[in-house]
Each structure stands twice: as C-alpha cells, then as structure tokens.
Amino acid sequence: MTWREYVLGRTNHVINASEIIWNFFKQYDINGLLKLDEINPKSNFKISPNPMSRSTKVNSTFSIIKYVIYDIQGKVVRDEEVGDSEFMIEKTVLQLGIYILEVLGETQILRQKLVVQ
C-alpha cells in the first residue's frame, strides 16, 4: 500500500464526482425542485415531432447557445453548441427511450421530455 492509498484511500478515476453532483443540484432552484415540463412563458421552444421517429426539429423564440440530452438516469448522452434558434436531432445519435432535452439560452435553461421510438 502506497502512502497515497493510506492517506486518501483507494480512488476511482472513472467517475467524475463534480459532474454527478452538478447533475443533481441543477434540478433545484431557491424554491425547490424544478419541473421538467415547466416552460418560461416569455421564452419557448418546441420539439417536433415528439416522439421522434427519424429526426426531430427543435425551434425556439430565442437563440440557443447549446443543447444537452440526458438519458433517464441523468447521464449526458449528447452535448452540442448550436448558436441559432433552431436545429435538428437525428435518431441515429440516440437509442430508443425517453430523454430530457435541455436547451441553454442567454438567460434561461429550459427542459422538455424527448421520446425516441
């Protein structure tokens, strides 16, 4: 046993603890748990078609900086910069299932359920 293992214990570099902690806490604001289907009435984004069969188009009333897709377990599946008010997501990048699509604008972060069938 090395001195490092003796002081710190055995460590695991496969898990990014900071990412796991952030994925948990970003679900909350000062008032509690954020609702996934809560949409800012001043800023909106639409997923069409949803459920997705081949591809889906996302468009919004604001400029989207980037989007993140999370699987049902909260793991990041896709993370891309956009820089426009609309973009396409191809089915080839996702497996069948239910996801959370998070879009980030200048002043807002919005989420909606995305179904791939």
pLDDT of residue 44: 77
How far apart, in Å, do the first and last CA atoms of the chain sit? 50
pLDDT of residue 11: 66
pLDDT average, residue stretch 71-93: 90
How much is the pTM?
0.63
pLDDT of residue 92: 86
pLDDT average, residue stretch 97-103: 91
Note the CATH architecture for domain 34-116. Answer: Sandwich (2.60)
- Which of these, 63, 37, 51, 61, lies nearest to 89 by C-alpha position? 51
**Does the structure show a pLDDT above 80 at 95?**
yes
**Does the structure show a pLDDT above 80 at 7?**
no
At residue 92, what are phi and psi to the nearest 5 degrees? -60, -20
Give per-residue pLDDT as tens, 25-45. Answer: 877 777 777 664 444 444 478
